Amino acid sequence: MTLPASAAGAIAAIVIMALVTYLTRAGGVFAMSRVPIGPRIERFINAMAGSVLVAVITPMAIHGDWGARLALVATLMVMLTLQKPLPAITAGIVTAALWRLW
Amino acid sequence: MTSRSQGAQLDLAGTLVGIRRMAPLSLFVVVFGLAFGVAALSRGLSGLEAMLMSALVFAGASQFAALELWGPEIPLLPLIATTFAINARHLLMGAAIQPWLAHLPPGQRYGSVMLMSDSNWAMAAADHQKGETNIGMLVGGGIALWVTWLFGTLLGVVFGSGIQQPERFGLDVIMGCFLLSMLVGGRRDLSMLLPWGAAALAALAAMAWLPTHSHVIVGALAGGLAGMLLPPRKEGSP
């Protein structure tokens, strides 16, 4: 099932995203007042949180051009050394721009 | 029922304190919002749609990931699954402060979690640990983050609309770099490498053999299952 990216379709998609996100914000509070979240579910959610990012990033690294790949490498390296997202993202953008300039 | 009551409360004064305590941090949020606005325009969203998404969804990583799915058609099931999987951490965050919020009237309880985001939750959870009864940090901090996120998105939309070829300036990689920095900046825990590896392999396999866009769901589930099968974490282990 797909929505067209017309104005109405895009707004519908955004509202759906907002509802799903609110469900996650309220859901933990709601569930915890009835059934506590067990350690297995907690491990599942914790592992899934990073895994979904991995699943989104991997195709970018595989199918992207060298500018995109090197940008990811630069971001990773700055992140591992400085632990600060803003310099890491900036390094990625600059790397891609320089690669394509060249 | 004065100072040492167990109950939590929400009032204007506490909310203002929360806004003030979050103010220095929320300046960074402007820059992330700017990046999102630029990225959204480069993926074909209108400025208004980008603003609407920041205002209603108010969850950066899932917004960036949604852009990846945006195209002439928006696949609904992958969009829902991706949004849920990225924001599922809210379930744990909400569960952690539920004993605190339980004392509030339901309207305030479910209203204040609308603004729950990583940094105001972290500061509010620390308040809760210290025995603070005022939940103003959660709500006020959330207001500060929401306003600056929206303002940053507006700047990005204004700035981004003047750029003809975003990829020339490397602006198309913002999404990937943002998500990667969130991934690496989260908890540093080597045991996560196994679920992440499973997620990467499953996503690649799904891209090769399963319908378009299914790789995000498949990767998230594979990683989650791998994480569930890991032995429970021992305190003090590396």
- For B74-119, the pLDDT digits (tens) are 999 999 999 999 999 899 889 888 888 988 999 999 999 999 998 8
Domain with B211 in it: 189-230
Which residues 161-180 of B have a C-beta within 8 angstroms of A? 167-180
Interface contacts (A, B; CB < 8 Å): 306
Whether residue B204 sits in one domain with residue B173: no
Cβ contact B227–A11 (<8 Å): no
Whether residue B165 sits in one domain with residue B203: no
Residues of A in contact with B121 (CB under 8 A): none
Look at residue B179 and tell me if it is in a domain.
Answer: yes
Residue B41 burial (10 A CB sphere; 0-12, 13-18, 19+): buried
pLDDT of residue B4: 37
> H-helix or E-strand containing A3?
strand A2-4
B114 touches chain A (CB under 8 A): yes
Q: Please report, in angstroms and rounded to a whole number, the separation of the first and last CA atoms in chain B.
A: 45
Q: What are the structural domain ranges in chain A?
A: 55-102
- CA B153, CA B143: separation in Å to the nearest integer? 15
Beta strands in chain B (DSSP E): 73-75
Residues of B in contact with A24 (CB under 8 A): 84, 87-91, 94
Look at residue B238 and tell me if it is in a domain.
Answer: no
Model confidence, pTM: 0.83
What amino acid occupies position B45? L
Whether residue B134 sits in one domain with residue B19: yes
Q: Give tens-digit pLDDT for B21-35.
A: 998 878 888 988 999
pLDDT of residue B75: 93
Q: Is the ipTM of this complex over 0.95?
A: no
Whether residue B91 sits in one domain with residue B160: yes
Whether residue B222 sits in one domain with residue B172: no
A8 touches chain B (CB under 8 A): no
What pLDDT band is residue A77 in, cutting at 50, 70 and 90? Answer: very high
pLDDT of residue B1: 36
Whether residue B99 sits in one domain with residue B115: yes
User: How many structural domains comprise chain B?
Assistant: 2
Look at residue B7 and tell me if it is in a domain.
Answer: no
Nearby residues of A75 by Cβ (< 8 Å), 6 or more positions away: A88, A89, A91, A92, B176, B177, B180, B181
